[in-house]
């Protein structure tokens, strides 16, 4: 799906500040010449309309199915509307997205429901440029937790709110661009961090990717996969480098699960070692084929790897285990995208010995793909 008009999800736990953010962030963006539309939250609309669960109402499964269908319909309609708007930059916000429903169902059951309705999980991820999760006040700002901001809220204890937050985070694991906005500052600081995250996606002043990368020295995959306290999404990635476009390096990437793939064209160049300008758009499988056939950089090999996305202490990590080319097989890199290059990073202890290779050009995927 083309990213000309970014579609950004705001989600999070109960009383995380989402309602206030969806009022104030568009107002702030308007000062930068950005026009915004907001797709309203579907569950609240249905509850407010009198829809109930249980008794004479819908079953929980039927309710989630109707939320899913209504969410798709609204998002598609708002996408059409915003394309007719004029002016400067445009952004479409979603007050929660399709994957939020996975927090209220068995994940496998949600995936099966989506498939039955014609959508794979990678296709659902592909609907959104980024996902911003506002952590509930019940985690880190307990004295501010309240039911007053949403009359439909049912989490009446801190424990229930924290559990709902964790389930919602887990629902989005696997999306390529997830940001957790925690309560490490006051609420104004929280909104500033959210705004900074959104501005990087929108391209104010330019679309930046800030990341840190670590070489993992010892095999850790088995230790990660056996942990019952960590939700993990396993992604298959194939990326092929194209001839350069001026100062931009280019690649095409196939990203998917269980044989259901989505395709991207990415252009990027380094501003400094940990910061780069990145432009990405979705492409079709046929376009992917033509790019590979006609514009492939023959001096570089195809990279294939498994990516394991997971959350740890309110941080979103990606562990890449390389499969091809054969000379890279077993190479393991841990990456994390940041809102600010000075953000604190808490690397899981079970990763063992790691080396920060963020500033080592030999560990860029482009350099690793260079034929030897």
Longest dimension (CA), the chain: 68
**pTM for this structure?**
0.86
CATH number at 37 reads: 3.40.50.300
Q: Residue 205: how many CB atoms within 10 A of its CB? A: 9
Q: Are residues 275 and 302 in the same domain?
A: yes
Closest by Cα among 189, 166, 157, 187 to 13: 166
Q: Is residue 181 part of a domain?
A: yes
Distance, first Cα to last Cα, the chain: 35
CA distance 164 to 13: 6
φ and ψ at 9, to 5 degrees?
A: -90, 135
Q: Are residues 54 and 157 in the same domain?
A: yes
Per the structure block, which two tokens stand in for 252?
A: 């095409």
CA distance 278 to 206: 9
Q: Are residues 17 and 140 in the same domain?
A: yes
Closest by Cα among 122, 321, 134, 310 to 228: 310
Model confidence pLDDT, tens digit, residues 238-289: 999 999 988 899 999 999 999 999 999 999 888 887 788 888 889 999 999 9
Of the residues 151, 180, 205, the one at which a domain ends: 205
pLDDT, position 88? 81
pLDDT, position 152? 56
Burial (0-12, 13-18, 19+ Cβ within 10 Å), 140: middle
pLDDT, position 151? 55
Question: Bridge-partner residues for 276, per DSSP?
Answer: 209, 270
pLDDT, position 229? 87
8-state DSSP, 273: T
Q: Is residue 71 part of a domain?
A: yes
Per the structure block, which two tokens stand in for 182?
A: 């925690």
pLDDT, position 245? 87
φ and ψ at 102, to 5 degrees?
A: -70, -15
8-state DSSP, 84: T
Count structural domains, the chain.
2
Model confidence pLDDT, tens digit, residues 290-339: 999 999 999 999 999 999 999 998 899 999 999 999 999 999 999 998 87
Q: Are residues 310 and 237 in the same domain?
A: yes
Half-sphere exposure of 273 (CA within 13 A, CB side): 10
pLDDT, position 273? 74
Helix (H, G, I), strand (E, B) or coil at 277: strand
Q: Is residue 157 part of a domain?
A: yes
List of the chain residues with pLDDT < 70: 1-3, 147-155, 206-207
CA distance 136 to 254: 34
CA distance 257 to 122: 7
Closest by Cα among 315, 304, 328, 299 to 215: 328
Per the structure block, which two tokens stand in for 86?
A: 């004029």
Q: Tokens 């079970």, residue?
A: 350
Contact 207, 162 (CB under 8 A): no
pLDDT, position 153? 57
**Domain extent for 216:** 209-368
Q: Is residue 187 part of a domain?
A: yes
pLDDT, position 270? 82
Closest by Cα among 250, 292, 288 to 267: 250
Q: Are residues 19 and 49 in the same domain?
A: yes
Of the residues 150, 180, 205, the one at which a domain ends: 205
Distances (CA, A) of 256 to 253, 282, 305: 10, 13, 11
Helix (H, G, I), strand (E, B) or coil at 15: coil
Per the structure block, which two tokens stand in for 1?
A: 């799906």
Q: Are residues 105 and 191 in the same domain?
A: yes
Closest by Cα among 265, 194, 151, 168 to 25: 194
Q: Are residues 242 and 299 in the same domain?
A: yes
């Amino acid at each position: 799906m083309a990213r000309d008009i970014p579609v950004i999800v705001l989600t999070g736990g109960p009383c995380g500040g989402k309602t206030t953010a969806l009022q104030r962030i568009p107002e702030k963006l308007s000062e930068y010449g950005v026009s915004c539309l907001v797709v309203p939250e579907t569950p609240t609309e249905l509850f407010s309309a009198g829809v109930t669960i249980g008794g004479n109402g819908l079953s929980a499964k039927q309710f989630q199915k109707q939320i899913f269908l209504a969410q798709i319909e609204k998002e598609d309609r708002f996408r059409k509307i915003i394309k007719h708007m004029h002016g400067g930059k445009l952004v479409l916000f979603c007050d929660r997205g399709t994957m939020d429903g996975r927090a209220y169902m068995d994940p496998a059951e949600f995936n099966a429901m989506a498939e039955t309705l014609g959508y794979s999980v990678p296709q659902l991820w592909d609907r959104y440029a980024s996902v911003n999760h506002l952590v509930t006040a019940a985690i880190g700002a307990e004295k501010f937790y309240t039911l007053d901001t949403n009359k439909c809220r049912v989490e009446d204890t801190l424990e229930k709110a924290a559990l709902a937050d964790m389930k919602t985070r887990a629902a989005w694991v696997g999306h390529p661009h997830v940001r957790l906005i925690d309560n490490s500052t006051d609420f104004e600081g929280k909104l500033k961090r959210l705004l900074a995250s959104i501005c990087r996606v929108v391209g104010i002043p330019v679309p930046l990717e800030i990341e840190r990368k670590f070489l993992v020295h010892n095999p850790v995959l088995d230790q990660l996969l056996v942990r019952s306290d960590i939700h993990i999404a396993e992604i298959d990635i194939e990326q092929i480098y194209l001839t350069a476009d001026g100062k931009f390096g280019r690649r095409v990437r196939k990203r998917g699960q269980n044989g259901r793939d989505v395709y991207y064209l990415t252009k990027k160049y380094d501003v400094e070692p940990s910061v780069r300008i990145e432009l990405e758009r979705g492409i079709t499988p046929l376009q992917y084929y033509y790019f590979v056939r006609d514009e492939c950089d023959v001096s570089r090999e195809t990279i294939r790897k498994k990516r394991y996305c997971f959350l740890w202490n309110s941080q979103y990590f990606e562990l890449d285990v390389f499969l091809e080319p054969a000379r890279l097989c077993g190479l393991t890199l841990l990456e994390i995208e940041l809102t600010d290059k000075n953000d604190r990073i808490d690397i899981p202890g079970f990763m063992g010995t790691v080396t920060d290779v963020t500033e080592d050009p030999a560990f860029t995927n482009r350099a690793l793909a260079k034929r030897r």
